Structure 1
Amino acid sequence: MKKILVTPRSFAKYNYRQVAELFKKHNVEAEFNPYGQIMTEDQMSDLLSDKDGVIVGVDPLHEEVLRQAPQLKAIAKYGVGVDNIDTGYTDEHAIKVSRTLNANADAVADYSFALLMAVARRVVEINNGCKAGDWQKKIALDIFEKKIGILGLGAIGRGVVKRAQGFDMSIYAYDMYPDEAFVAQNDIRLTDVDTIIRECDFISIHLPLTPDTKHLLNADNLKQAKKNLIIVNTARGGIVDEETLYQLCKENRIFGAGIDVFEQEPPQQSKLLELENVVIGSHTAASTVGATEKMSLMAAENIIKDLED
């Protein structure tokens, strides 16, 4: 019997029977996150001590944790980003790491555009005002035929391209390894981050967090932004300098932001939570029934495959 830990709270929420039968068929015994929240390093270390594998969300799998898991052979990421996993350690110790590539791409692209529209049209602010008896009209921003800059043209970024096309938007993009055919077919202006900041009305972020993308949007380059700029981040919190973003939004030097990810999650006393022109998500962009089912099944299949190889 192979023993695994499952940390994501939404794992198999909508297709539990299917996943349970798959585990049973392959002699996998799963222990689920007992804490109801993102687990700490100490909690992960304790529960991983006798496990052969782990299906992990954004919980920490740093070297200190992995050293406490001598039997660990496989990690299945429930998602795409592996910045919470010490991949140097896993490579050195022959621990296999898999990802649920493309399983949640449409869900995240949908939510990215939902945040964009919510901030531009001040949906949350208007809703809260109306419920408090404030029936005043609030002037918002147009979206149709505006300019959007997409940072990262992976599966999610390409999904945002398709949604932006429905609004006849001019599409700018930055990507370190662009698909030239996709760029040409979709009339995308491939350019650099500074040009996107200067010229675009919206920026949607879909890059991995790496040393090269850490604080890619910062005080130096964001000072070039239009006053009506809206930044949407459903990728990783560290890509945007949060203190700079807070100051820009607070002082209305940009119009606002839609933020689903933070450098620390849950955010501790983040000043961004105080601002009306910032719409916040709980790292929830992939949380749809369809995406959850796809990610759960793919992560289960990945961990079984890697444990049996």
Structure 2
Amino acid sequence: MVILNKADILIAIDTFDQVNTGQISRLKELGLSVRLNETGRILDYENNADIYTDIKYIIAGLERYDEKFFNQFPSVEVISRIGVGVDSIDLVAAKKNNVSIYITSDKPSVAVAELCIANMISLLRNTYKMSNDLKEGRWHPIEGNELRNCTIGIVGLGSIGKQVAKRVYAFGSRIIAYGRTWNQQFADKYKIKKVALQNLIKTSDIVTVHLPFEEETKNIISKQLIENLAPGAVLINTSRSGVIDNLALKEAVIKKKLSGVAIDVFDEYRNISPWEDVENVILTPHIGSHTKETRKAMEETAVSNLLVHCKLSKEFDHKKKAKLELSLRENKVNIL
């Protein structure tokens, strides 16, 4: 095992501070020692045990934190995650080991929503196909469709789903939605009709999925539902791969039941299976939140969550500290 210098904080995400947010300097100026992930990949604690040794606080990405991890590294007190999903963290084991978990709440919402809109328009207007045609010497204009004439089905009307709704409303689209939580005031403002998931699937021109991955939502977009999608529909997934039966979705695309799909999330990091060589598919490498503005906001929030939790907040005046402590309560993952 490599012996590393003692550190208070592990920055587990290898892309941290790439847009020069100044967060590493911020931590060091407060007297905290920082250990970085310099592997260029997602950490695996079983293969990178030396990196986690004696760490108290973790600024986390998509790494796996299961019961074995918490038992192996009892020094860990806080995991402050950059992002909103916690499907890679065993929350029961975290609670058992008195580890506090924080997320960056609604920070990625606008960036993810904008990616959804970009994919909607690209799929409707076939711009991605025509770009490839031109590069291969084919001048082949393809007639498309307009977003204003589409029925948009939003699966999951949480923070990201709401941002998508605001944007498609501006295009004049008809909006229907399925959500486990529901804000009627918001729905009334943007003329959103609440429907059952089965009805949404059958009647939407575009289905966009915004659900967390948990036992309740695993394969919620099932093979049966996919078979009931409207002919020529478009499906977009920027949430988690596990909420959709991807093999059934692939089959529907190959059989041309759907006009196209856009996928930003996969079962494994850097593994795009089962989408290799499938036409009418837009693939992106989990970039939903990857804008300069959003990465900056997420990194700042993840660090602030950690600092306020640990009361290392000399840099915050009274008013800002009170606001941050309120934000901290909102970002804390409550474990039942």
Coarse TM-score class (shorter-chain normalised): over 0.9
Match of 1:231 in 2: 235
Q: How does 1:184-195 map to 2 (within 5 A)?
A: 184-195=188-199
| Equivalent in the alignment of 2:160 | 156
Q: Is the 2:237–2:262 Cα contact (8 Å) retained in structure 1?
A: yes
1:305 paired to 2:282: no
The worse-fitting range, judged by mean Cα deviation, of 53-62 and 197-206 is 53-62
Task: Give the counterpart letter for 2:10 in structure 1.
Answer: L
- Supply the distance in 2 between the matched residues of 1:163 and 1:16 (Cα, whole angstroms): 28
Shift of residue 5, structure 1, vs aligned partner = 1.3
1:154–1:38 distance in 2 versus 1, CA, 3 Å: same
- In the alignment, does 2:109 pair up with 1:105? yes
Percent identity between the aligned chains?
25
Cα deviation, 1:213-239, whole Å, max 9, x if unaligned, reads 110111111111111111111110101
Q: Distance in 2 between matches of 1:303 and 1:228?
A: 47
Assess, with a 3 A threshold, how the Cα gap between structure 1 residues 43 and 120 changes in structure 2: closer, same or farther. farther
Q: Which moved more, 1:141-150 or 1:189-198?
A: 141-150
Structure of higher CA gyration radius: 2
**Deviating 4+ runs (over 4 angstroms):** none
**Superposition TM-score, scaled by structure 2 size:** 0.87
Residue 258 of structure 2: SS of its match in structure 1?
A: coil
Alpha-carbon deviation of 1:273? 2.7
In structure 1, what is the Cα distance between the partners aligned to 2:43 and 2:257?
37
Distance 1:244 1:46, change over 3 A: farther
Q: Quote how far apart the aligned CAs of 1:52 are.
A: 0.4
C-alpha contact (below 8 Å) 2:158/2:181 kept by paired residues = no
User: Can you list the C-alpha shifts for 1:72-106, whole angstroms capped at 9, x where unaligned?
Assistant: 00001100000011111111111000011111211
Count the aligned residue pairs.
307
Please say if 1:221 is aligned against 2:253.
no
Deviation by residue 1:39-95 (Cα, 9 ceiling, x = unmatched): 224245432121001111111112222222110000011000000111111111110
| Deviation string, structure 1 residues 111-143 (Cα, Å, up to 9, x no partner) | 111122222222222111101101112233332
Task: Provide the TM-score with structure 1 as the length reference.
Answer: 0.94
1:177 deviation in Å? Answer: 1.3
Specify which of 185, 202, 205 is matched with residue 206 of structure 2: 202
Larger RCO of the pair (alpha carbons < 8 Å, separation 6+): 1
Equivalent residue, structure 1, for 2:13 = 8
Q: Kindly indicate whether the alpha-carbon contact (under 8 Å) linking 2:108 and 2:298 is maintained by their aligned counterparts in 1.
A: yes
Contact 2:221–2:245 (8 Å) recurs in 1: yes
Report what 2:334 is aligned to.
none
Q: Does 1:89 align with 2:70?
A: no
8 A Cα contact 2:198 2:225, kept in partner: yes
- Shift of the alpha carbon at 1:2? 5.9
- 3-state secondary structure, aligned to 2:295: helix
- The 5 Å alignment of 1:22-33 reads 22-33=26-37
Aligned residue for 1:42, secondary structure, equals coil
CA distance in 1, matches of 2:49, 2:170: 47
Change (3 A) 1:306 1:44: farther
Counterpart residue identity of residue 150, structure 1: I
- CA–CA distance in structure 1, aligned partners of residues 45 and 256 of structure 2: 38
Q: How far does residue 30 in structure 1 lie from its aligned partner after superposition?
A: 1.7
Structure 2 unaligned blocks of 5 or more = 1-5, 313-336
Distance 1:148 1:274 in 2: 27
Unpaired runs of 5+ residues, structure 1, are none
